[in-house]
Amino acid sequence: MPRRRTKSRNDGAGGTAEPVILLPDAVLVNDGSPDPLPGAAVRIDGNRIAEVGDAKGVLDAHPDATILELKNCLVMPGLVNAHQHGRGLSDLQQGFRDDLLELVIATRLQRCPQVCAPFVSLAAAEMLRNGVTCTVQANVTFGNDYEAEIRAMLETYDQAGIRATLCVGAQDQGQIVYPDEDEAAFLAGLPDDLQQRLSEAKRRPYAGDGPGTVALMDRLLADYGNHPRIKLLYGPAGPQWLSDDHFRCLVDAAGAQGVGFHLHCLETRAQRAALDRMYPDGVLAHLDGLGVLSPRSSLAHCVFLSPADMEIAAKREITIVHNPGSNLRLHNGAAPVAEFVKRGIRVAIGTDNRALEQGEDLLKEIRLAQALARSSEWNGPPPLGTSELLAMATVNGARAAMTEDEVGTLEAGMKADLIAISLDRAVGAYLDGDVPILEAVLARAEGRDVRLTMVEGRVLFKDGALLSIDEASVRERARLAAEASNKKIKTSDRRLAQILCDHLRDHYQEMTAAGGKDG
């Protein structure tokens, strides 16, 4: 094969400064067929894919293009992490262990405000290293000035070069316990000093009420509505955390603003029991009645969906974002993903910044999802195949991110968001000829096998080096930010957090024992 120039050059605004041809061993177009094309090349012009075709023909037709050789690699669409929170340092790294979600949330009593940018930048770096080109960041707040925080997050993702869909958070109830109607009785049973501490800590989260949230979205859309790599969604924390009036306000605005919804739903057994009390006719039925559910909506976790909930999810064409590692680490078990797929529900995947192995390796999470979805019943739903797994990590995630018209496939006109994965580990010493190469990649490859990550035609990671992020500086800034925050934690706050956890455990144990439908 003729060898032209082998190093591509990037312009500063995104996209290559000149046409580039990628020459891997195979190209996975992802246009409905799971079979990669051997001997194919990908030509990129600016920030878009110009063509995918026979390598010789592409080279002969474009003799002056820059060539990027990717020997023994598969080029495929970039992975989509469809649910994470911009936390580049895990809870464990900051001294907090896994537990039931309600208790993990309670430990925030002892946390101090943090500067968000170093953590978000570190998360972006880890995702790019592991072949993630697009992500959905769910609701999160690190401190007190929410608008300043979310603008800092947007700027950080922009500088990193990753494609990001950010959720504007919303919450107006259930800050201490849910259902919200239980708060007064719950507080009455706490020691006086803990009641006082919770009263001091309680505030209006995020942008406050519904009109305030809509106004914030308007301001952000004015600045980022036409950004090539950034999109915005409404990100209510979850149905137990947001009132109907607040939901209605967001729904009324979302259509005119052209944004969708991404929220947590039925993640824990306690949420299932609480929401059964709050909405006896079913939480998804209630959300549907409010106008929240549509093809522009995605729900994360959904471990405890009932059959009736699943029926509505399929009817409304929502996307469920599966978080297999996080669900296990937070004691929630496995979501019935095989049943979702059997019912025709679109499923994406995310790490929740709580992947089983404490990183952002989405390839490993895909394998975990496949293993957990296997049924022991002879007449159970069929296992997840290669096509379903690939869709979860690409096109379905793109739908959750509201970028399905731009990324997820390697076809002419689509944005040049792609990765190259070394086949060394996937093939190993031997691979039977009857095993499709994509099956081997999804079964054996890891994030560390990613050789190249490209977004909008820009190479952001190549051969172990991040090109858009000063990784050493980001790691040091994240370390210093975490260290400074943790030094401010008071011994009294640690004690009060433990007391709160003990009372929450009793509250939710009683509530779940009293009822609540399993999914």
Q: For 391-408, what is each residue's pLDDT tens digit?
A: 999 999 999 999 999 999
Q: Are strands 40-45 and 20-27 parallel, antiparallel or unpaired?
A: antiparallel
Residue 17 has a pLDDT of 63
Mean pLDDT taken over the chain: 92
Burial class of residue 362 in the structure, from the number of CB atoms within 10 Å of its CB (0-12 exposed, 13-18 middle, 19+ buried):
buried
Fold of 20-77+411-468: Urease, subunit C; domain 1 (2.30.40)
Could you give the CA distance from residue 192 to residue 197 in angstroms, rounded to a whole number?
9
Could you give the CA distance from residue 269 to residue 317 in angstroms, rounded to a whole number?
25
Q: Which runs of E-coded beta strand occur in 171-283?
A: 230-236, 261-265
Could you give the CA distance from residue 329 to residue 332 in angstroms, rounded to a whole number?
8
* Domain range list for the chain: 20-77+411-468
Residue 484 has a pLDDT of 84
Residue 33 has a pLDDT of 79
Residue 286, SS3 per DSSP: helix
Which residue stretches of 62-132 are H helix? Answer: 101-106, 116-129
Conformational region of residue 463, where left means phi above 0, alpha means psi within -120 to 50, and beta covers everything else: left
According to DSSP, the residues that pair with 471 across neighbouring strands are none
Q: What does the pLDDT look like over 346-387, one tens digit per residue? A: 999 999 999 999 999 999 999 999 999 999 999 888 999 999
Residue 304 has a pLDDT of 98
Q: Which amino acid is at 29?
A: V
Residue 112 has a pLDDT of 64
- Which residues, including other chains, have CB under 8 Å from residue 356's CB and lie 6 or more apart? 324, 325, 328, 329, 364, 365, 368
- Residue 280 preceded by cis peptide, ω within 30: no
In 3D space, the residue among 176, 76, 188 whose CA is nearest the CA of residue 132 turns out to be 76
H or E segment at 149? helix 146-160
Q: Residue 14's pLDDT band (boundaries 50, 70, 90)? A: low
Q: What is the mean pLDDT of residues 90-118?
A: 84
Q: Are strands 297-301 and 319-322 parallel, antiparallel or unpaired?
A: parallel
What pTM was estimated for this model as a whole? 0.94
- pLDDT at residue 487 tops 80: no
Q: What does the pLDDT look like over 469-485, one tens digit per residue? A: 999 999 999 999 888 87
Could you give the CA distance from residue 384 to residue 378 in angstroms, rounded to a whole number?
15
Which residue is associated with the tokens 């949420």? Answer: 271
Q: Residue 200's pLDDT band (boundaries 50, 70, 90)? A: confident
Q: What is the mean pLDDT of residues 162-183?
A: 95
